[in-house]
Chains A and B, each alone.
Chain A
Amino acid sequence: MTVCLRVCPDRTAQYACTLLGYTLQKSGASTELRKTVSHLEAHMSLTRKLMRLGNSVEALEAAKRAIHLSDSVLRLCLTLGHLNKAMYFACDNVLWAGKTGLVSKLDQHKWSQRSFRYYLFALILNLTRDVYELRLLMESEARYRASKSPPSSSGSLPDEHLSSASAPGAVALPIVSFWLRRQLHLLVTVLYNNPPLLLDLLKNSCDIFIPLDRLGIYPTGSGFVGACGLTSSVLSILTMIHPWLKLKP
């Protein structure tokens, strides 16, 4: 997605603090150190909210651009994804206003849950897009392999396997496992040849644990959330340093 979470080292620092806080708690470090780390994390979180003021507009602009895509699945995923991102940023801005005292009597928990829900929807759409692109690439890779190799060894099972089997069940299992192996090989090849797609898939897979934990759908604990957030932030920094690693559109 073109409008990422405007990653800068702050996100990395925030999730590093989350992970560090969890590690310090497990290892029984002093309360003063844990308080410092938790204070730093809160400070980074508030600063990032400040930096995100205005990102809703950018997300809406990205959604407008995505409407003109030719591929209908990509068009749907990206437009809805950007719209959800815009809503997430809007809720985030409201939370910032509440935390800084601009809006008094704000139900922080309610707005926080709202913002995580939009974030989750955006990530689900991102992942759908990644899986769709992966599917397309795998199909084209399979077609390419089929056209390259001669028809007799086009991937069908050797005949002795089929003839030696006595029952239909015994035939089905090797066929399924062969098919699975082939699909896995295709998957690895496609991902190896498309680093932007691999990076985006990994990033979104790591990110999804954050809203799942915060919404209580799949609680994993602050340590795991911190590690996932840190990994996805590092991957995002990589795409900023090397723009060719960014998945387009």
Chain B
Amino acid sequence: MDTILKFTSHHQGKDRVFRATQFACALSTYLLRTNTDRTKLLSTLKTLEANLNAGRKVFRLGNTINSIQAAKRSLQLSDRVLCLCLTAAHVNRALYFFCDNVLWAKSVGLIRDTNKVSWSTGASRCFLLTLIGSLARDIYVVLQLMVQRARDGHFRQKMIRHLNESPQVAEVIVPHLDAFLFLLLESLKSHPAVVLDTVKNFCDLFSPLDKLGIYPSNSGVVSLCGLVSSVIGIITYVNPSLSIKP
């Protein structure tokens, strides 16, 4: 198992760069789609995107086991909510990679009689469930941080000072919203890892939502969100302190 982990984590850095490049190509293709002078460039971008996509599928050929190992580790977490969210996310990720591997095998001709559409839909569903699990965990962590902050005496004084600074704000509803937002921003300021993970997962949502027809958007939006999430992925890889733990 450790051997397989060593192999799968080896190309993680390159994979994130390739993912970013893939989405940059997709976004450029979308932006240039009406430009008739750039047909050759468009064709090059599409070929590059297809090659990167195909190559990355090979990188992912051991990630099912990687995700199962991560799910086993998350079962041992003491916090029940975190344990549930992360285990569900990792199990769904393992299923997503399995579907992805089957799609790769079909694309190279190793498997013939498979329904590409159903496996692709299955992969999108598993990916969506993974993201829901990850976002649930992000929201739980944010709420925990807010509760912790609210209990802090120093922070309470800061809050009172902030609310008193703007007396023209309406007294009934907006002060509560103002206080909530202030608490949220103060809690997140000192935890950039949580912010990055939340933004990343939120951006990633658009792709499966579009593929499954739940929230159809255009390829431009999907590509842009994919690019943003890939760039965040690169940042967290380069700077591991910005990666959310566990």
Interface residues of A (CB under 8 A from B): 6, 8-10, 35-36, 39-40, 43-44, 46-47, 50-51, 53-54, 100-102, 240-241
* B14 partner, pick from A9, A40, A53, A100, beta carbons under 8 A: A53
Q: Sorted from nearest, which 9 A-B pairs have the closest CB atoms?
A: A50-B55, A101-B47, A36-B109, A47-B58, A100-B51, A47-B55, A40-B108, A43-B108, A241-B3
A44 to B59, CA, bound (A): 11
Interface of B is mostly: helix
25 A–B contacts, CB within 8 A, in A order? A6-B10, A8-B11, A10-B58, A35-B109, A39-B108, A40-B109, A43-B54, A43-B58, A43-B108, A46-B54, A47-B54, A47-B55, A50-B51, A51-B14, A51-B55, A53-B14, A54-B14, A100-B47, A100-B51, A101-B43, A101-B47, A102-B44, A102-B48, A240-B7, A241-B6
CB-CB under 8 A from A240, the residues of chain B are: 3, 6-7
CB-CB under 8 A from B11, the residues of chain A are: 8, 51
B residues contacting the other copy or chain, number (CB 8 A): 21
Does B18 sit at the interface, judged by CB under 8 A? yes
Does B150 sit at the interface, judged by CB under 8 A? no
CB-CB under 8 A from B47, the residues of chain A are: 100-101
A87 to B10, CA, bound (A): 23
Interface residues of B in 82-120 (CB under 8 A from A): 108-110
Interface residues of B in 6-28 (CB under 8 A from A): 6-7, 10-11, 14, 18
Does B231 sit at the interface, judged by CB under 8 A? no
A54 to B10, CA, bound (A): 14
A9 adjacent to B7 (CB under 8 Å): yes
**A8-B10, A35-B109, A46-B54 given; 6 more Cβ-contact pairs under 8 Å:** A36-B108, A47-B54, A50-B18, A50-B51, A102-B44, A241-B3
Does B52 sit at the interface, judged by CB under 8 A? yes
Q: How far is the CB of B57 from chain A (nearest CB, A)?
A: 9
B58 adjacent to A101 (CB under 8 Å): no
B52 adjacent to A50 (CB under 8 Å): yes
CB-CB under 8 A from A241, the residues of chain B are: 3, 6
A33 to B55, CA, bound (A): 22
B110 adjacent to A46 (CB under 8 Å): no
CB-CB under 8 A from B18, the residues of chain A are: 50
Cβ-closest chain B residue relative to A53: B14
A44 adjacent to B48 (CB under 8 Å): no
Q: How far is the CB of A104 from chain B (nearest CB, A)?
A: 8
B48 adjacent to A8 (CB under 8 Å): no
A29 to B135, CA, bound (A): 51
Q: How far is the CB of A20 from chain B (nearest CB, A)?
A: 12
CB-CB under 8 A from B3, the residues of chain A are: 240-241
A40 to B105, CA, bound (A): 9
For B6, B43, B48, B58, the residue with the greatest tally of chain A CB atoms inside 10 Å of its CB is B58
CB-CB under 8 A from B6, the residues of chain A are: 240-241
Q: How far is the CB of B160 from chain A (nearest CB, A)?
A: 53
A44 with B109, Cβ < 8 A, contacts A8-B11, A101-B48, A241-B3 known: no
Q: How far is the CB of A90 from chain B (nearest CB, A)?
A: 17
A40 with B54, Cβ < 8 A, contacts A102-B48, A240-B6 known: no
CB-CB under 8 A from A10, the residues of chain B are: 58
Cβ-closest chain A residue relative to B48: A100
Q: How far is the CB of B211 from chain A (nearest CB, A)?
A: 24
